[in-house]
Amino acid sequence: MRPLLTLTTAVLIPSTLLAHPGHGSVASETAPALHYLTSGSHIGWVAVVAIAAVAATAVVRSRRADARRAG
């Protein structure tokens, strides 16, 4: 039970502590992508996700190329 409480606390507390103006506003509800791309608090995570997507694509392409050469 204790690990579940720790996990729940770790997930819930940062989300409330890191909230910033713009969350829950009409603009962020109607155009959430715009909010995430223009808010300084989110742009770092957008960059991390973009880099991870590019890296994953490169790995998949590399493995496919290796499989074609080997087979």
Model pLDDT, residue 62: 95
Q: What is the mean pLDDT of residues 24-47?
A: 73
Domain tally, the chain: 1
**Does 1 map to a domain?**
no
* Maximum Cα interatomic distance, the chain, rounded to a whole number of Å: 55
> Is the confidence at residue 32, as pLDDT, over 90?
no
At 34, the amino acid letter reads L
**Does 3 map to a domain?**
no
Between residues 1 and 53, the one the model is more confident about = 53
> Is the confidence at residue 43, as pLDDT, over 90?
no
**Does 4 map to a domain?**
no
**Does 68 map to a domain?**
yes
Between residues 70 and 5, the one the model is more confident about = 70
Q: Mean pLDDT over all residues of the chain?
A: 77
State the SS3 of 47-67: HHHHHHHHHHHHHHHHHHHHH
